[in-house]
Structure 1
Amino acid sequence: MSTPPASGTQSLAALAKADGVRFLLATFTTLTGKPCAKLVPVEAADALEGEGVGFAGYAAGAMGQLPCDPDVMALPDVASYVPLTFVRPGLGMVHCDPHVEGRPYAFAPRVILRTLAEKAAAEGTRLVSGAEVEYFLVQRGADGALTTADRLDDAAQPCYDARGLTRMYDHLTAVSEAMVRLGWGPYASDHEDGNGQFEQNFHHADALTTADRVVTLRYIVQVLAEQRGMTATFMPKPFTDRTGSGLHMHLSLWDGERALFPAGDGSPADRYGMGFSPEAYHFSAGLLAHAPALHALIAPTVNSYKRTGATTTASGATWAPRTASWGGNDRTHFLRVPDPHRVEMRGGDGAANSYLAAAGALGAGLDGVRRRLDPGRPGLGEDGLRLPRTLLDAVHALEGDDIVRGVLDAVDAKAGVSDYYAELKREEFYSWHNTVSPWEIDRYLTAV
């Protein structure tokens, strides 16, 4: 397998042909995280690289377009190319930056993250991130009901269960071997806290690369699960009584190859004993200060708040933060500090668009650095901030936060991306609210 080079050192066609790739998925995501693609034959790879491939943006979904608008042209980032021949013979994928009329498209999540990353780089700062990808393996009956794909996975506390891992060995090792072949450095697969729930990890990288890998990994997981008669879902809370699926993000700042987080042993700058530099404390404070608005990006669905609002689960814990708290190696906080080299932002879930989640974290954290914010004593959030209880609460927080709105508007402040996104999510909430649920029938049918 060839190693993807930096963009421009080798053509997309040459890379694909060297790997025996016959067709390329030219891929981008909508604002809601839907992966969109066209299947491009390798014979057309040069044209793809030079001109891109066109999409009707309105048909794709949440892309800020109407039917009358011009095509969205997806231009590939050759450095993101990966062969997926282990998924389908002859298949490859390349992530694309959508353009409209020759300009980077303001409504494209990958373009938003790239824009913010380039602005940060111009200031000498680089965000490095890692992502914990959690999901459930389920089957759906004719009546629509979900059941655990592994019928024997019914323990009261299934987390880390060796037998549950072994029964899903073929699926989990296929996914892990895929990451090995792609050079991502996978280091663990585990059974998570819910029956049928798993997590698979790979090493950190720059924020854009990690966001690409999350999109690719979700695709790999879902396709390989389908091949084994299962459905892999990243839905935050598919079961009322089980733990939800997070997208925990491990974040650190770098100046070139120099890590900016660790303060060094005994440093007088280490105000709260976390081993942090002032920049690390400021960055953490920014994440805490903007946590409510960030939830519109990192917990972006109605279902997300069934996860964060859960009072208990069958296993006894929810593992989802309710307040913008922070501290040491404590998994109940919004920001956990596993070591002096990083913070783990635990508020995000499986529905998050990985590009918007990283962009939001970068924008919020750097606001803390620029304003030299203080996170306060460990164990407390910024002014005791409570996290949103519903998607509508998160939308209201977003609309009142100029920094997180600015993240969405990073490409073109006049395009109105933040307004469009807020309205999109507000309507999603109202659509759910207007649907009569079994809970309402049970509660109100004969209440009066």
Structure 2
Amino acid sequence: MTSTVPLTGADARPAPIGLPEPTLAELAAANDVRFLLATFVDMTGRPCAKLVPVSAADELQFEGMGFAGYAAGMIGQNPQDPDLVVFPDLASYAPLPFVKEGLAMVQCDPHVEGVPWPYAPRVALKHTLAKLAERGMRPMVGAELEYFLVSTADNGTIITADERDSSPNPCYDARGVTRMYEHLTEISAAMNSLGWGNYANDHEDGAGQFEQNFAYADALTTADRVITARYIIAMLAAERDMTATFMPKPFTDRPGNGMHLHLSLWDDSGPLFPDDSDGRSLGLSAQAYSFIGGVLEHSSALLAYLAPTVNSYKRRNAQTTVSGATWSPRKATYGGNDRTHFIRVPDGNRIELRGGDGSGNPYLMMASVLEAGLDGIDRQVNPGDPCGPGIQPDSAADLPSTLLHAAAALRADTTVLGALCGSRAVGEYYADAKEQEFLSWHNQVSQWEVDSYLTHV
């Protein structure tokens, strides 16, 4: 009997011993796919794609597909540069019949003149993973995606898509979840059809805000799934005349969108972080503490990747919200099962990095954090004792207060500056772009300025 479960990239790797791996064309044929979205992201995390008919699947797989890199966005190219040529990673193949019948997506790695392009985020993460693999390590990562469902009012402002979702404390509200039942369950079914293991869908802390969780996996698989999930959520929301936004702070008075990463290191024998003899009572190994120490030491520079937009710092620096919490750390601290810290340790198997937000590029977030943690392991950095519940000691480093400060911290940190493919040039390019992004915003006159200064003197 033929299976009705879609053949996904996870199903395709590895092929049974002695049998060749299926080609992209064969994967597509198994799902009645007619068109492929050959996808890569620029450094902002924006998905770029060409719609490729399945008749050209072999050409895409074996010859690559060309893009004008400068036109694609922030990916290290100028108008005069040669094409980006992207090659698909079949392990990321995902049929998307719930978006459009006959459609599939595959994540691709950009090359220039036959060489992997170091400004391509997926290439950067694979470079870091190769370094860890040389040490016999592989990182496992889980990602929490928060987003708002909004619509546009007649006056052009954004409003909550569900007009009855207006409570100042709507988190986990059963009625709010039920009113969005069709949307949430369609996303859940989509994730599960792809083998992602969706295990929870909830109303988050802001009116109109939701989170849908899927099982952790190796770092590259999880990063690919974040990109695919954002696309799926956005497209299916649009079918119901809603906009799904991962913007860090779309509403002044509400909590914003985070993207928390749950990280652990493994080797062939299993996880490397747990240690029952931990003297600091968090159940962690010495290696895990050194990893934490590296991340904390480099936290200010990391924020350029974890919180990469001007809007990120409206979320991070919010004094309070109508719900009473911002859920965004302001200091580089770590502690136990306490969501006020930059690093939370819910158990000995993993750490939760809480500094990232919904605008983050998952490939760059993971690459930079893993490089920082690896530096901590190499230098056996001691993070000190964990902080108690809700305690933010004055001695803890303050995280950057704006994107401009984060870009400056990135420039000053040689480890994180060179984290992407070992190239400081890539880091400098990114820092330049983020400084320009800040100045572009700073040069716009806002209504707040008019209200504050028009008749000031």
Please list the CA deviations of residues 163-183 of structure 1 after superposition, one character each: whole Å capped at 9, or x if unmatched: 000000000000010010000
The verdict on how the C-alpha distance between 1:14 and 1:381 changes in structure 2, with shifts beyond 3 A counting, is: farther
Shift of residue 383, structure 1, vs aligned partner: 5.3
Question: Which residue matches 1:439?
Answer: 448
Residue 77 (structure 2) aligned to one of 65, 71, 77 = 65
Question: Which residue matches 2:246?
Answer: 234
Residue 337 (structure 1) aligned to one of 334, 341, 345 = 345
User: Alignment identity in percent?
Assistant: 59
Asked whether the 8 Å contact 1:36–1:60 carries over to 2, the reply is: yes
Gaps of 5+ in 1: none
Question: Which residue matches 2:329?
Answer: 321
Partner SS state of residue 244, structure 1: coil
Asked whether the 8 Å contact 2:40–2:47 carries over to 1, the reply is: yes
Question: Which residue matches 1:271?
Answer: 279
Question: Which residue matches 1:220?
Answer: 232
Please list the CA deviations of residues 1-40 of structure 1 after superposition, one character each: whole Å capped at 9, or x if unmatched: 1142127711011001101111000000000111000000
Shift of residue 194, structure 1, vs aligned partner: 0.4
Corresponding residue pairs, total: 441
Quote the Cα distance in structure 2 between the aligned partners of 1:349 and 1:399. 21
Shift of residue 272, structure 1, vs aligned partner: 1.2
Question: Which residue matches 1:6?
Answer: 13
Quote the Cα distance in structure 1 between the aligned partners of 2:308 and 2:7. 36
Gaps of 5+ in 2: 1-5, 15-19
Quote the Cα distance in structure 1 between the aligned partners of 2:172 and 2:54. 42
What does 1:39-438 align with in structure 2 at a 5 Å threshold? 39-264=51-276, 267=277, 270-379=278-387, 384-410=396-422, 413=423, 416-438=425-447
Please list the CA deviations of residues 126-174 of structure 1 after superposition, one character each: whole Å capped at 9, or x if unmatched: 1110000000000123433010000000112000000000000000000
Asked whether the 8 Å contact 2:8–2:95 carries over to 1, the reply is: no
Partner SS state of residue 348, structure 1: coil
Quote the Cα distance in structure 1 between the aligned partners of 2:69 and 2:384. 44
Asked whether the 8 Å contact 1:409–1:418 carries over to 2, the reply is: no
Please list the CA deviations of residues 227-280 of structure 1 after superposition, one character each: whole Å capped at 9, or x if unmatched: 00000000000000000000000000111241000002xx1xx13110001111
Stretches (4+) displaced over 4 A: 380-383
Quote the Cα distance in structure 1 between the aligned partners of 2:122 and 2:421. 13
Quote the Cα distance in structure 1 between the aligned partners of 2:385 and 2:85. 48
Question: Which residue matches 1:17?
Answer: 29
Please list the CA deviations of residues 28-68 of structure 1 after superposition, one character each: whole Å capped at 9, or x if unmatched: 00001110000001111011000110100000000111111
The verdict on how the C-alpha distance between 1:256 and 1:142 changes in structure 2, with shifts beyond 3 A counting, is: farther
Asked whether the 8 Å contact 1:188–1:202 carries over to 2, the reply is: yes
Under a length normalisation based on structure 2, what TM-score does the superposition of the two structures give?
0.95
Quote the Cα distance in structure 1 between the aligned partners of 2:364 and 2:395. 25
Partner SS state of residue 407, structure 1: coil
Quote the Cα distance in structure 1 between the aligned partners of 2:164 and 2:182. 16
Partner SS state of residue 408, structure 1: coil
Question: Which residue matches 2:17?
Answer: none
Asked whether the 8 Å contact 1:325–1:333 carries over to 2, the reply is: yes
Residue 147 of structure 1 aligns with an amino acid whose one-letter code is: I
Asked whether the 8 Å contact 2:125–2:420 carries over to 1, the reply is: no
